[in-house]
Structure 1
Amino acid sequence: MSPPLPPGNRIAARALAVGVGVLLAAWAMARGFIVLLERSMDRETQANITEGAERIQDFLQELPALAAREDAALVFGSSLIQHGFSPEVFEAHVRGPRVTAYNLGFPGVDPEVQRLLAHRVAEAFQRSGHRARLTVVEFTPFQATLARGRSAKFSEMANVKRAMLATPGDLVETALRSPEEASHLAALQALGGNSPLAITSMLEHQLFADPAPADPERQELVARMRAGRERVEQRRVRAWDPVRRGEARLFFDETREDYLAWVRLRTTPEILEQNLEWRVWTSDLLELHFDERKVAAFAEAVRTLAGVSERTVLLLAPRNRAWVQLTPEGRSRLAEVVARLSRDTGVPVVDLSEALEFTPEDFIDVTHLNESSGRPRLSRRLAEELSPPAPPLVGPGTP
């Protein structure tokens, strides 16, 4: 039997126990408050504030089943893919061996988040013993800029996703480079993948949201489209929906007129000018001064996915040329980075950034394709680019 602790040590142990108990109680109260706050808010508003964290969570739940397939075609990227790719349209137009396509586009993912996500995808395929038949990895240039990394909002939303995806080994690796950064990611994990910035935004929305929306017409159109989607789907549609293999849809025959009216409201010259200014300010959209650390992280993501895929290509998505006109220096920097990515990863490039068939009418803002024409057009074009050559015509009169 061990001897009793001296009085001073007993007091210290009691104080430590009380302190740990207070911390655990505060943590539990904070987690409970966050859960209540999330439950009191509609999913679309929450997704906008957290920049799609729920979409990644839903995808990770479905990843083992996806990786167990022998015919998976993964189209991996940012919100440009989330908005711009339809697995159903791609499958209908691709030639060659049958594939089951998936939209792995996620909003607010910078290359460092994509690196972690690529590792999770690769680990799932390695456990299943399968390889993806095809992987398309989309590079979003403005997400790899120095300006993007300096944006407090984008950095914190990316950190939330990094915390969701980081393993203990990832945290150790980060700590060796930056103990402060690693401790911040660990704190975000303790908060259940929520950041103080997101929590503050949600609270402000609940307390101070204007009961009369600034644009009631747009709000009414969105409400009608959601109601129309519910009538069509007749089920709860998840943020990353396994039924539609990641494609997020608002455009159906029943919602066509409302959707087109909503797009018209979003694409007035005044709205697009504001959108362009915001992208330039937060992401250096036209000059593209790249962050080498982010470029290296993206290259690692490409190599990781290529390691579990029979065929891999690097994609530059269509650019809204009417609004996004890169400076000569920006073009030069982009060309150099893309050439280096292809060279360092051994992956060929499919460059659709200047493809002439994509017009301003195919976009919903200065960067994202719309569902009505842009999404099907990109999905068909990708299928054409990635299909094997058509067999030659053979028959009477064929030379």
Structure 2
Amino acid sequence: MSPPLPAENRTAARALVVGLGVLLAALGMARGFIALLEGTTSPDTRARFTEGAGRVRDFLQELPELAAKEDTALVFGSSIIQHGFSPEVFEAHLRGPRVTAYNLGFPGVEPEVQRLLAHRVAEAFQRRGRRARLTVVEFTPFQATLARGQSSRFHELAQVKKALLATPSDLAKTALRSPEEASHLAALQALGGNSPLAVTSLLEHQLFDGLAPEDPDAERKAIAARVRAGRDRVEGRPVPEWDPMRRGEVRLVFDETREDYLAWARMRSAPEVLKQDLEWRVETSDLLELRFDEGKVAAFAEALRALASVSERTVLLLAPRNRAWVQLTPEGRARLDEVVARLSRDTGVPVVDLSEAPEFTPEDFIDVTHLNESSGRPRLSRRLAEVLSSPAPSMAGPGTP
């Protein structure tokens, strides 16, 4: 029989147990409060304040089934793909073997998040012993800039997605580089992938948004609410942020909602709104100069390699640019050309460059960077299918698919 523990050891053990109990109780209360707050907030509002964390969660739940399919075409990227790619239009115009296309565009996924996400996708396909028939990987230049990494808001929202995607091995590697970041990611995981920043924003929205005497965006918000309400009536079901029924496409335009959507899009793309949008993008993401963060470029290259390892054919895409507003400086253009050429050379993945394709006009964009759903999305989906169907693409960049 083991000798009894000394009294001071028993006291320390009891204190540890009590402390752990208090910590777990506090954590449970915090998660319960967050669940209550999210449950009383509309899905669209949650998505706006969490910038796609729910879309990542929804996708991870569907990933094992997606990876089991034999004819997948994955179109992977940022919110530019989320809002700019239609699987159905792409399939209808792609010549050759049949594919089932998926929209794997996620907002706020800077390259380090894309690296984690790409590895999760690759691991899922490897477990199933499958390969995607085609993978298109979109590179969003302004998400790989030094300025983007220095934006506290973008950094925190990216950390939430990292926490959702990070494995214990990922956390261990992070801890070797930055114990502080690893502990922060672990704390976010403990909160269920919810950031205090997002929780505070949701709470402020519920408490104060209705109290503002005048909202300059009230009319635009009202039209947007009508669009979403019309979408909900047409769908007749709860629509998750990553919708398996529509293979990840975010659909707002139906016959019943088209008129309201076009009115909303016109208000969002008004010159005075776009001017503010451009100023914000320049300030937070260095949109025109594109001074790149080499660590983020390396992370994107790793994501590209991971996806190419489980795909029969992979291309790197530069999506259309709103040239009426986004006019790169000569130095910014040179930096972009050098980085894209290096990504293609180092990974062996050819480039499809649609950034200055002449068929895309300012009327195809809903803001400075994103295509609209009414004309821009179908045009990109169709053009991408045409380019990938051609043995000698006319819009190829440094490489050819």
User: TM-score normalized by structure 2?
Assistant: 0.95
2:320 to 303, 318, 321: 318
Pairing 1:358–2:357 present:
no
1:1-399 matched pairs, under 5 angstroms? 1-211=1-211, 213-389=215-391
CA distance in 1, matches of 2:179, 2:391: 52
Which amino acid is 2:338 matched to? E
CA distance in 1, matches of 2:246, 2:9: 61
CA distance in 1, matches of 2:64, 2:324: 41
CA distance in 1, matches of 2:383, 2:245: 23
Q: Secondary structure at the match of 2:229?
A: helix
Deviation at 1:2, TM superposition (A): 2.1
1:395 is matched with: none
Deviation at 1:389, TM superposition (A): 4.4
Deviation at 1:8, TM superposition (A): 2.0
Gaps of 5+ in 1: 391-399
CA distance in 2, matches of 1:12, 1:211: 51
Deviation at 1:227, TM superposition (A): 2.1
User: TM-score normalized by structure 1?
Assistant: 0.96
2:396 is matched with: none
CA distance in 2, matches of 1:150, 1:357: 35
After TM superposition, the structure 1 stretch with the greater mean CA deviation from structure 2, 70-79 or 231-240, is 231-240
Deviation at 1:321, TM superposition (A): 0.2
Deviation at 1:6, TM superposition (A): 2.1
Q: Secondary structure at the match of 1:101?
A: strand
Q: Secondary structure at the match of 2:352?
A: strand
After TM superposition, the structure 1 stretch with the greater mean CA deviation from structure 2, 311-320 or 59-68, is 59-68
Q: Secondary structure at the match of 1:315?
A: strand
Q: Secondary structure at the match of 2:225?
A: helix
CA distance in 1, matches of 2:200, 2:233: 34
Deviation at 1:14, TM superposition (A): 1.9
Deviation at 1:201, TM superposition (A): 1.2
Asked if structure 2 preserves the Cα contact closer than 8 Å seen for 1:137 and 1:312, the reply is yes
Which amino acid is 1:181 matched to? E
Deviation at 1:388, TM superposition (A): 3.9
Which amino acid is 1:321 matched to? R
Which amino acid is 1:51 matched to? E
CA distance in 2, matches of 1:41, 1:232: 21
CA distance in 2, matches of 1:23, 1:309: 45
CA distance in 2, matches of 1:61, 1:8: 48
Over residues 234-293 of structure 1, what are the superposed CA-to-partner deviations in whole Å (9 max), with x where a residue is unaligned? 222111111110000111111111011001111111100000000000000000000000
Deviation at 1:211, TM superposition (A): 4.3
Which amino acid is 1:52 matched to? G
Which amino acid is 2:99 matched to? V
Q: Secondary structure at the match of 1:119?
A: helix
Asked if structure 2 preserves the Cα contact closer than 8 Å seen for 1:96 and 1:388, the reply is no
Over residues 27-64 of structure 1, what are the superposed CA-to-partner deviations in whole Å (9 max), with x where a residue is unaligned? 11111111111111111111111101111111111111
CA distance in 2, matches of 1:115, 1:9: 46
Which amino acid is 1:270 matched to? E
1:394 is matched with: none
- Percent identical pairs in the alignment equals 80
CA distance in 1, matches of 2:137, 2:391: 22
